[in-house]
Structure 1
Amino acid sequence: MKNRLNLLRIDKYIIGKFLGTYIFMITLIISISVVFDINEKIDKFMSNSAPLKEIIFDYYLNFIPYYANLFSPLFIFLAVIFFTSKMASNSEIIALLSNGVSFKRLLKPYMISAAVIAIFSFVMGSYIIPPANETRISFEQKYVDPRKKKTGDRDIQFKVAEGTIVYFGNFDMESKKGYNFSIDRFDSLKLVSRLTAQSIQYDSLYHWTINNYQIRDFEGMEEKITRGTSLDTIIQIVPNDFIVAKTDQQMMTTPQLLRHVRSQKERGLGNIQAFQIEYHSRYASIFSAFILTIIGASLSARKVKGGMGLNIGIGLALSMAYILFMTISSSFAVKGNMSPFVAAWIPNVVFIGIAFYLYKKAPN
């Protein structure tokens, strides 16, 4: 691999600096975050009698990789600024440029390092962390904040099959029971059958029991009415299809997210913006790693008076701006005012312009 990439000693040196600083920063910042999180939640742990084993293995063992991976592009950014500023301060960058190494060539080990981290983070975030999030979120709902658990919803309507629309007046997730239930069946936009029921109980996969029901079948000008107290039936839905919590998207792998979004669109269900944002953000984070690396290297390669303090300050300001862009665009997308694809990618688009400007201003 080294021969194929044609890595020089300086490339290996920069890659080692990059990855070493990145790991150091993740370890330092996440360790501080864990300390603050313990301080914030210890009262809830104690009041809810959370077992120490579950706190360590179910919560914090899954807390650390989730937040480390979530902010990985920003850790990359800060790591690049930190070690590149130090190299510039030690005149290492000047020595390389004065010996005929162009800034473009200097970026090669930076891009290799960013690619290694980005691919690793994508695999972690797409396939490994989501199952771990299920354990972490379950712990939070049990011992930290039970209100995070979605217990029901009202006025639910969507398509379960071609020409078949179901409606729940309200649904209780704890009892798996819905009230004021109806099924409308259409043939070429013409209503041919309508079932109404006082309640409906979910049993197992796609199996439901309808209670105190009435079925009206329409044939031309005639109407046939059937009533009953209980009816077992198969409906191609489960409660998790329409009862969605704010954290559900975090517990899905990337293929599961894609299948869920497509399924909900086919059924005419709303409230899928958070799932779409999560899906697109996982791919956007790959490119953000490269964009932020270029910005960090371009910003820090020049030796400045006063050391690396100014570069780190500018880097922190840009980090806050990046987080602000992500937060604002995601909020607009959730409210339906912006496409989830645009919301996930707009921070990268804005920062591409910043990266291009700083790259042109970088020393050569």
Structure 2
Amino acid sequence: MFDFFPSRTLTVYLAKMFALRIFAVLVMLVLVLMMLDLLSTSGDILAVPGNGQQELLTYASLRVPQLIQRFLPYSVLLATLITLVTLNQNSEVIAMKAAGLSAHQVLAPLLLTALALSVFSFVFNERVVTRATATLAAWDAAEYGPIPQASGVRANVYVTEGSNVLTARQATGRGEAVALTGVTFYRRNAQGSLIEQIDAATARYAAPGWRLEDVRRFDVATASTTTAPDLTIAPGLSPSQFDLVEIEPDAVPFWELGPAITTFAEAGRRTSELRAKWWHKLSGPLSAFLMPLLGAVAAFGLARSGQLFVRAIIGMALGFAYFVVDNAALALGSFGGYPPFLAAWSPFFLFALIGETVLIRTEE
């Protein structure tokens, strides 16, 4: 089975060259995008009293993992084109083929490196990016105030009790221990017209009902506002409803998202979007493995024939076409247009076949 790879020396040489270029391109992309992001966000962060350089660094530490997750496949694509074009221009590909290596054997070290990177990407996404995404979402919901330290933070919660609506800027904890901050309760009549709006700083479960603190009440009929230290509302609203609020798949690890989907399905909730995102947590990192195959067209053909630039453009077009189709299929799967499994995996297998077909028809 190891005959698929070239010699050990050549394998290490190609894999090292490829890995260094991936790292260089990724660092370049992340630094540029992070600077642009800070230019647009730093004003909001520094507008909060007490925020300074430390908060900017905290924001960057939370945002960088998201940028790495999003742009790692693009980095692999660009590094593939840079590596293969360089090898072609230096006639190294010609030398390898003259030594008896097939096109697949030339690509084997790059594919192995990309596969290892896909495994790393999956672990990094589920162990680091999900936590950063959850914390950043909660911090953004707090308008860049003190970062919530509690576990299970959910931002912008929305639940109903009959015709009444309760919203919270943040919800922390699970079950009867759930705590709400930035609470607004809209009391409506049977026709759906607003009767009263109640704002409160915090709320906790009172078994039954929810005890609000630092309350401000606005009566629509009289247009009057009153305040109270506390108030109990919504006796029909159970803590389990907050456990079934909308899940942000990017903020939940793969092994926790599966049981959550099962819970949603048992409660009769729509799960097509969650299932598509769950499958995409596997297929998404594997897109890095696909990039050397799609960019392989840039490796072959005589550099002095004048078609090397055209081949590089074709490789880039195939790579970016994959990302476009992947996003479109995922969107269709989220709306129920595709089965979730097909929405997540069909672009990967489709472009794997396209890349393999192009490689075999042109080089093998």
TM-score by length of 2: 0.73
- Kept after mapping to 2: 8 A contact 1:202/1:209: no
User: Matched residue of 1:172: which SS?
Assistant: strand
Partner of residue 295, structure 1: 294
Alpha carbons of structure 1 residues 240 and 54: separation in structure 2 relative to 1, 3 Å? farther
Q: Distance in 2 between matches of 1:268 and 1:178?
A: 25
Q: Match of 1:150, as an amino acid?
A: N
Partner of residue 284, structure 2: 285
User: Matched residue of 1:209: which SS?
Assistant: coil
Alpha carbons of structure 1 residues 18 and 239: separation in structure 2 relative to 1, 3 Å? same
- Cα deviation, 1:213-271, whole Å, max 9, x if unaligned, reads xxxxxxxxxxxxxxxx99989957141412x26xx22211111111111110011112x
- Kept after mapping to 2: 8 A contact 1:19/1:113: yes
Alpha carbons of structure 1 residues 7 and 331: separation in structure 2 relative to 1, 3 Å? same
Partner of residue 116, structure 2: 116
Unaligned runs of 5+ in 2: 146-153, 169-181, 190-197, 211-231
Residue 327 of structure 1 pairs with residue 327 of structure 2? yes
Name which structure has the greater RCO, CA cutoff 8 Å, separation 6+: 1
Partner of residue 274, structure 2: 275
- Cα deviation, 1:28-53, whole Å, max 9, x if unaligned, reads 11111112212222333343454321
- Cα deviation, 1:183-206, whole Å, max 9, x if unaligned, reads xxxxxxxxxxxxxxxx9x9735xx
The residue correspondences of 1:1-364 to structure 2 (distance < 5 A) are: 8-49=8-49, 50-57=51-58, 59-143=59-143, 149-154=155-160, 169-173=164-168, 174-175=182-183, 203-204=204-205, 208-210=207-209, 237-242=240-245, 244=246, 248-270=248-270, 272-304=271-303, 305-306=305-306, 309-364=309-364
- Kept after mapping to 2: 8 A contact 1:333/1:343: yes
Q: Match of 2:293, as an amino acid?
A: I
Alpha carbons of structure 1 residues 23 and 259: separation in structure 2 relative to 1, 3 Å? same
TM-score by length of 1: 0.73
Partner of residue 216, structure 1: none
- The aligned length equals 306
- Kept after mapping to 2: 8 A contact 1:177/1:202: no
Q: Distance in 2 between matches of 1:231 and 1:33?
A: 45
Q: Distance in 2 between matches of 1:273 and 1:144?
A: 32
Unaligned runs of 5+ in 1: 157-166, 182-198, 212-228
Compute the displacement of 1:313 (Å): 2.7
Compute the displacement of 1:352 (Å): 1.9
Alpha carbons of structure 1 residues 232 and 144: separation in structure 2 relative to 1, 3 Å? closer
Q: Match of 2:294, as an amino acid?
A: I
Compute the displacement of 1:308 (Å): 5.1
Partner of residue 195, structure 1: none
- Cα deviation, 1:102-121, whole Å, max 9, x if unaligned, reads 22222221221012101100
Partner of residue 196, structure 1: none
